[in-house]
Amino acid sequence: MLVKVLRNGIGGIWQLGDFITRPTKMRRAPQAQQQVDEACEQLALYQLPRCPFCIKVRRNMHKLNLPIALRNVQPGSPHRDELQAGGGRIKSPCLRIEENGESRWMYESNDIIAYLQQRFG
C-alpha cells in the first residue's frame, strides 16, 4: 500500500514536470505529417498516466509529433485485458504495432523510443 502511494505521488510530480517542461514538436511539411499520421493509426501505446517509463515514451512521442492512440491499462480497464490477451503480460509501457494484419507487442521504454526514432525521427 505504501509503495502504491509513493509511486502515485512521485508519478504525479513527474507528470506535472512533464507537462511544464514538454519539448517542442517536430515540424514536418503538411504532406509528410499526413503520412506520419496515417502510419500512427497502426500504433497504440498501452500505458499508465503516472508511470515514469510511460511518461518518458509519451515525451518522445510528443517531440516526434506522433498522434499515437493512448490506452490506459489501470485495473478494471478493458485495455488491460487487451494487453494481457495480446501481449501476454500486463506491463507498461507497451506499444502495439499492426503490420500486415498481424500485431506485434513491444515492451520496454528504451526499445519503444528507439523504434519510434528509427521509424519517424
- At residue 11 the predicted structure's pLDDT band, cuts being 50, 70 and 90, is low
pTM (predicted TM-score): 0.86
CATH number reported for the structural domain that contains residue 44 in this entry: 3.40.30.10
> pLDDT of 50-109, one tens digit each?
888 999 999 999 999 999 999 999 999 999 999 999 999 999 999 999 998 899 999 999
Domain containing 51 equals 2-120
Question: In the structure, what pLDDT confidence band is assigned to residue 6 with cuts at 50, 70 and 90?
Answer: low
Q: What pLDDT is stored for residue 13 in this prediction? A: 75
The pair phi, psi for residue 107, each rounded to 5°, is -100, 175
Domain count across the chain: 1
Which pLDDT value is given to residue 5?
64
